[in-house]
Amino acid sequence: MSTSNKTIQTKFYQEDIVRRNDSPNVLGVVLRCWHDPEDLPIAGPIMDPLMRPLKRGEVGVSFFPGGVREIVAEADYTLVDRTFQIGDYCKRSIDDVCSGVVISTKVQAKLVHAITNEPVEGWKDVQDLRHSTSINGGDYVVYDDWVGQVSLFDELVVSTSGILVRIPEISTRLTVGDKGIDLLPSPIGHQAIYSGCHATPIPTPNDTVVDVKHTVLAICWLAVNQSLDPEVAQSKHRPERFWYGEQLSKLTVIRSKSGDIRVGDKVTLEGGRKVPATVYDTGSDINDKIIVRTLCVQETRTVATVLWQDGTRQTLSSTELIPYLNIDEYDCWPGDHVLWKSEDQAQVAVVQSVSSADRVALIRCLATGTLETVSALELDPNGAGDLGGNILHNYGLGVRRGDSVFIHREGTTNGFDSPKVPKIGEIEEWVREHPVRNDGELGGWRRAMADLGARLATEHGTYRTQVYDVKSPKADRSLVWFGEVSELRLDGSVEVTHPNGEISVLPLERLTRLYDSLEQIEDDGWDDEISSHNSHSDYPDGVWLQDDNGIWRYDKGEDDEDDEWEEMDEIEGAMEIDIPWAEDEPSAVVDDVIDSLPRSVTPDIADSISPLPVSPSTTTPDASQEIDIGGDQEDSPWKLFDILPSAPPDHAFYTTPCNQPSKAFLARITKEYRALSNSLPESILIRAYEDRTDLLRSLIIGPENTPYENAPFVIDWMLDSNFPQSPPIAHFHSWTNGNGRINPNLYEEGKVCLSILGTWSGDRTETWSPARSSLLQAFVSIQGLVLVKEPWFCEPAYDKLRGTEEGMVNSRLYNEKAYVLSRGFVRRALEMPPGGLQAELTWLYCTKGKLAKVLRDSRQLIEKSKQAHSSSTLTSRDHQDVAVPRLTAGGIITLERTLVRLQTLHDSWQAKDLNRQ
């Protein structure tokens, strides 16, 4: 296991417990960090002082008791404890390539009385503590074979000015002991306060919550017991949405996470032990008192047992570990189910151990039981190459420690071929209702819940009423059909802990993962953001409207088609880049468009332009560096822009219907074609088609000194009937064999994530504009802004890590993957060349020797890497100057396999060439 001797500057992470250096009694929990991937600039006014942009070296902290929130200097605080849960990934240091998974924790807590702050003697084990309330928001509940997730309505009792008042509120998240001047509603809304006092109390800073009751639950029912016979399961209708009163005692609560007690939580101590107590008299009966024995977790200390990638286990203080946040897509740990993807097949395997420095794994193939040492770059631990599984197909590979799972009865399976594990959980539309109406009042189900809670509070009258509560599953043996993954065994079986604490050992195929409502809403959130960004508000001169055929079209609010026709003539002067738009009048039919353009165009490279600003990390070589054509070009098939008679059947959009092009469309496409004829760089080829003016195909050769150098990238394009009002639609041909993305912006399923295409939320100046943008700009953007020297930083959340140890380690590993996979692109393009580009690819790689260069450069890199492994001669300067300075042992294994195939292709072509001579 590798450990770094380099001193790494202390960094805090979310949920760390910190102490102020000059005030030992001041403790806080970290809520925000500069390096958080999700910590991106906030649009609009900042209402919370904790949400202003962070500078490096700052953290956002919530202090306790009191809940004061403030951004402070990291250097002024010391780490007290670091929170980990079972299933969390961790490292010893930022630049350590070895990681581990937390398999157990032991947490102890210091406690004080929640109201008086009177201390409880000694450290207490978390196992002896229970949350002060029986259920929390987000917990799971079970009823009649259904599993649901809860939201809460509370009745608070607040001590203020010597009296007790009862306040019904929705999802307050307030707990016993919370204080503040803002606990009571404003005098305007004092009718919502229920107490034995007719006067309206005046809020004070000493107002204190002394009791909390959850009176109404709104439950999102997600999925039904999977061990039932299908006929029985179909008869189990979704239970009611709202639960209250005596109904609550019919529910069984299942905590969504085990052992998740943290600093600031309000708890009770089991075992009847003596703890400080505070008594509040409700004013009437001597037995009608509120006795508060609630405690507050003041400080914790955590010890975690970690299973490292090499298979060793170690128990350490949590402060000796750091969370592993930016997980590499090839990372896996002992017990994980993976697919080993070789050239010809994919085998199901279980990871036994991983040498993280070498990127090599020892796996057990489940079909044969044999052990194999393989490159980690040939393993898929997640499904479809994307971290976190494939949401589209609703499954992932295997399960993870901490997952909530359904258990199918013996003799049945989840219906998927192992190691695929389906995710089930369907949230109803009411869950997504907007929380606030236009008038500022609660809306949707929250309004209905608040009205119900207020009515119940009125009916309760005095404080003491019959209290109903949810049941604990501690002694319930009927819930063996549900549980939490607690361990992954090396033989492929899975340990599941049931709600009552019993453990079962099960095969993977009998498990189905619960896809809970919080996870689903988070997964949907990004799409909502993109949709909002691309809404009509981005186009102030018009709106998108859906026509009678269900097609979304851009409407400028003008009825005269001639106005649209005349507007096309104005585009020439409005373009931001220097594109020589044609002066010809637009043709009215497709044939006229085709005939007006040359069949083959090879522009003078001196006339090429670079229409995009290039960031410091972007490599954009001049044309002579990109592709050394050499010799007489007149007879070469390397035509930068060409119009072919028909679109190839392997075009991604070949089967899409082609709409009759309008005059405006033909006018714009004429100008686009002329721009492409004159301004393409030599490393980009574009093919258009006589029979489909709405389709194009691009071939982009990766720039030098990037992990993509000399590799072919094929992207298909479609121009819908709204073009140019809407951007072109792209489909990337990913030839990674399911072994992960080759670039953060190029997805395996074909998505091209780029602002100008409307598939990424960027600044408005970067998005598609009918007047300012062009196809040329889109093509060049991919080469100049996507196929770059350090693609890992293309993710906006990671760009700020440029220059940090964490960024350097992750970028180096990503570049190796991108380089190795892109050598496979060369093989794929030559073995199965995409339609319309066969001659060009053969000419470039075989006739002009690009394949020989790929082989030579790859072998030199392998030799250099082997020497570096033995001598450690590479310096930090080498890493900065060269996109791929060396390869790991796993990278070498995968690359050498590809080189064997490439060498065979090279030899075969040479033999054919000799025969021709």
Distance CA 782, CA 796 (A): 16
* Structural tokens at position 314: 């170690």
Please count the other Cβ atoms lying within 10 Å of the Cβ belonging to residue 340: 19
Residue 300, class by beta-carbon neighbours within 10 Å (0-12 exposed, 13-18 middle, 19+ buried)?
buried
* Structural tokens at position 803: 């220059």
Distance CA 650, CA 744 (A): 25
Is there a contact between 85 and 105 (Cβ–Cβ < 8 Å)? yes
Phi, psi dihedrals of residue 664, rounded to the nearest 5°: -65, -40
Is there a contact between 218 and 363 (Cβ–Cβ < 8 Å)? no
Is there a contact between 216 and 246 (Cβ–Cβ < 8 Å)? no
**CA distances (Å), origin 457, targets 166, 172, 185, 309, 816:** 8, 15, 15, 54, 63
Task: Give residue 631's region: left, alpha or beta (phi > 0; psi -120 to 50).
Answer: left
Distance CA 346, CA 379 (A): 9
- Picking from 48, 50, 47, 68, the residue whose alpha carbon sits closest to that of residue 59 is 50
Is there a contact between 224 and 238 (Cβ–Cβ < 8 Å)? no
Q: Which amino acid is at 593?
A: V
Residue 431, class by beta-carbon neighbours within 10 Å (0-12 exposed, 13-18 middle, 19+ buried)?
middle
Q: Pairing state of beta strands 641-644 and 684-689?
A: parallel
Distance CA 709, CA 703 (A): 5
- Distance of alpha carbon 460 from its chain centroid, rounded? 46
End-to-end CA distance of the chain: 57
Listed in sequence order, the residues at least 6 apart from 829 whose beta carbon sits closer than 8 Å to its beta carbon are 712, 714, 735, 837, 841, 845
Secondary structure of 12-74 in HEC code, one letter for each residue: CCCCCEEEECCEEEEEEEEEEECCCCCCCCCCCCCCCHHHCCCCCCEEEEEEECCCCEEEEEH
> In a 3-state reduction of DSSP, which class is residue 212?
strand
* Structural tokens at position 814: 């990503």
Helices vs strands, H then E, count in the chain: 14, 42
Q: Find the catalytic residue in 90, 332, 753, 846.
A: 753
Q: Is residue 753 annotated as part of the catalytic site, yes or no?
A: yes
Distance CA 274, CA 690 (A): 87
* Structural tokens at position 393: 């197909």
- Picking from 11, 892, 914, the residue whose alpha carbon sits closest to that of residue 378 is 892
CA triple 583-584-586, angle to 5 deg: 120
Listed in sequence order, the residues at least 6 apart from 746 whose beta carbon sits closer than 8 Å to its beta carbon are 713, 732, 734, 752, 753, 786
Is there a contact between 186 and 483 (Cβ–Cβ < 8 Å)? no
Listed in sequence order, the residues at least 6 apart from 819 whose beta carbon sits closer than 8 Å to its beta carbon are 707, 708, 861, 883, 884, 887, 891, 895
Is there a contact between 180 and 253 (Cβ–Cβ < 8 Å)? no
Which residues belong to the active site?
753
